[in-house]
């Protein structure tokens, strides 16, 4: 996405399960299919129904089989812990859902194409505590199946739901390690100062 | 209270104890040391104009449990049609 910004410049290497995602033979569409993304603010397609939002990625990839689409809709909504709340109104507009439900719908949409990695950019920062708790429970469940990379400024949330934590400050990676070590015995003073609330 | 077999059986101290067989270990849930990282970042720098937002960052993110052990099965289950397939 950064390539859409004219002034953007990137150096270095990113590998997804050993494959260089910027390699000449790598198809960006396939990379995008293998990496799901969930953003800070829920962004369901406003003109689409709940079901259509879930299946949009599949349909864009050419899937037209209605029974398979219905099956994937249910699977994805179940995985996103939203099925029970919406199963009787799948054709209702996605924007009729609450903020927390819309964010879980976006997670269902990301899961529908069966990614291997899910990137989440502050997925609960715009939600109330109850909705945040549901998203965190969902992440704890999903991380069994998916490698989840989550960006958060909420220290407690990072401590609750992650296995590994990286602390970035002004573009530099200060420290990276197991979450328990990062929060109980960090190797860098800057990390300790941040996780204990001395700054930030 | 701790109980030892030596206290109950005086001969135990002098009787050679056969080596216990090493139990078969189940698969380690996250093989962080040996598995191919899910994401591997090397010397990554990203800038927007003069704003350098990442400075030569290097780290690896290990795969989750099922990513690691069932990845091939998960990939096998993905039956998305070719991107060029026309509408039915």
Closest by CA to B38, choosing from A173, A147, A122, A45, is: A147
Chain A CA closest to residue B54: A171
Query: Tokens at residue B38, please?
Result: 């899910």
Residue B84 with chain A: CB contacts under 8 Å: 62
Counting DSSP H helices and E strands in chain B, the numbers are 2, 2
Six token digits for residue A137:
């429970």
Chain A contact probe: residue of B34, B67, B71, B78 with most A CBs at under 10 A:
B67
For residue B3, what pLDDT band results from cuts at 50, 70 and 90?
very low
Q: Considering the entire predicted model, what is its pTM?
A: 0.78
Tell me the pLDDT of chain A (200 aa) as tens digits.
Answer: 777 888 999 999 999 888 899 888 888 888 888 899 999 999 999 999 999 999 999 999 889 999 999 999 999 999 899 999 999 999 999 999 999 999 999 999 999 988 889 999 999 998 899 889 989 999 998 888 889 999 999 999 999 999 999 999 999 999 999 999 999 999 999 999 999 888 87
Q: Verify whether the Cβ–Cβ distance A15 to B42 is below 8 Å.
A: yes
Do the beta carbons of residue B68 and residue A143 sit within 8 Å? Answer: no
Q: Is the pLDDT of residue B12 over 50?
A: no
**Predicted local confidence at residue B58, as pLDDT:** 95
Q: What is the pLDDT of residues B17-69, one digit of tens each?
A: 555 554 454 443 444 445 688 899 999 999 999 999 999 999 999 887 665 54
| Residue B47: CA count within 13 A, CB half-sphere | 9
Residue A57, exposed/middle/buried by CB under 10 A (0-12, 13-18, 19+)? buried
Residue B55 and residue A62: Cβ atoms within 8 Å? no
Grade residue B74 by pLDDT with cuts at 50, 70 and 90: low
Residue B2, classified by CB atoms within 10 Å of its CB into exposed (0-12), middle (13-18) or buried (19+), is exposed
**DSSP 3-state of A103:** helix
Output the pLDDT for position B84.
42
């Amino acid at each position: 996405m950064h390539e859409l910004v004219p002034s953007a410049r990137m150096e270095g290497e990113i590998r997804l399960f050993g494959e260089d995602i910027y390699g000449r033979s790598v198809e960006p569409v396939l990379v995008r299919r293998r990496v799901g993304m969930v953003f800070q603010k829920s962004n369901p397609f406003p003109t689409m129904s709940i079901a259509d939002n879930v299946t949009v990625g599949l349909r864009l990839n050419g899937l037209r089989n209605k029974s398979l689409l219905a099956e994937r809709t249910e699977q994805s909504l179940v995985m996103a812990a939203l099925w029970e709340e919406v199963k009787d109104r799948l054709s209702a507009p996605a924007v009729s859902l609450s903020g927390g439900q819309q964010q879980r719908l976006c997670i269902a949409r990301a899961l529908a194409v069966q990614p291997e990695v899910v990137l989440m950019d502050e997925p609960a920062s715009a939600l109330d505590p109850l909705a945040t708790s549901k998203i965190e429970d969902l992440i704890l469940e999903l991380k069994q199946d998916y490698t989840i990379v989550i960006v958060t400024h909420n220290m407690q949330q990072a401590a609750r739901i992650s296995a590994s934590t990286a602390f970035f400050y002004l573009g530099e990676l200060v420290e990276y390690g197991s979450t328990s070590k990062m929060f109980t015995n960090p190797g860098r003073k800057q990390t300790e100062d941040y996780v204990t609330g001395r700054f930030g | 209270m701790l109980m030892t077999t030596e206290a109950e059986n005086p001969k135990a101290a002098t009787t050679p104890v056969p080596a216990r067989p090493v139990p078969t270990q189940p698969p380690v849930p996250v093989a962080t040391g040996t598995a191919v990282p899910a994401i591997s970042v090397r010397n990554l720098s990203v800038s927007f104009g003069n704003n350098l937002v990442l400075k030569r960052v290097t780290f690896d993110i290990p795969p989750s449990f099922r990513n690691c052990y069932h990845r091939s099965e998960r990939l096998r289950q993905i039956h998305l049609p070719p991107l060029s397939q026309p509408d039915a």
